[in-house]
Amino acid sequence: MCGRFTLTIDPADLQDAFPGLTFPRAWSRAYNVAPSQPVAVVANNGKNQVEFFKWGLVPSWAQDPSIGNRMINARAESLAEKPSFRTAYKRRRCLILADGFFEWQPVPGRQEQNADVRRLKSGEPFAFAGLWEAWHPDQEDRLLSCTVITTTPNTLMERIHNRMPVILKPEAHPLWLDPAEQRRTSSTSYSSPIPLRR
């Protein structure tokens, strides 16, 4: 799973890494992004704009937004089948901007874990593949939320965890943000073995 991540890069460098996007004027670095917090998202709504959505997907049919606390991640292999994700997979995909994510490793002989941040070898920011939803879209309490898609780990991550977030190559961003309805296919085709480092 992906339960914490970072976005600590200078805003100007982030803009350079994602040309063509409009960024909000108010921006602060995030060293430990947690579920239920606002995250930087580019939705496939044609705006090419970075917005802030709550991390934890709240489907439009949900009775209570607290359901999002249990849906911070979505398994790539079952997006097209699970009721919580299949409509968003077809119509509401997004990029979730980051420059690192945490994984925890047990400390030998002690009942605790160390948190390691995984980043690209290049040190550049990247985008997780995500899904988004609008809860109560026509009411005053409208809530925009998102989830990070996870997949099977690469060789570096498999020693630590049996899942990892899907990181999209820049050339895959337009395909993932295409507003057209997604055909029934595995979203793992959008993932890439981008080199990571600790």
Q: Which residues are catalytic?
A: 2, 103
- Give, as one character, the DSSP assignment of residue 130: E
CA distance 63 to 128: 28
CA distance 153 to 79: 17
With H, G, I as helix, E, B as strand and everything else as coil, classify residue 23: coil
- The most distant pair of C-alpha atoms in the chain lies apart, rounded to whole Å, by 54
Taking only Cα atoms into account, the Rg of the chain, rounded to an integer number of angstroms, comes to: 16
123 — alpha (psi -120 to 50), left (phi > 0) or beta? left
Do 144 and 54 meet the contact criterion of CB atoms below 8 Å apart? yes
Cβ-based neighbour number of residue 83 at 10 Å? 8
Amino acid at 36: S
Beta strands at 143-151 and 50-55: parallel, antiparallel or unpaired: parallel
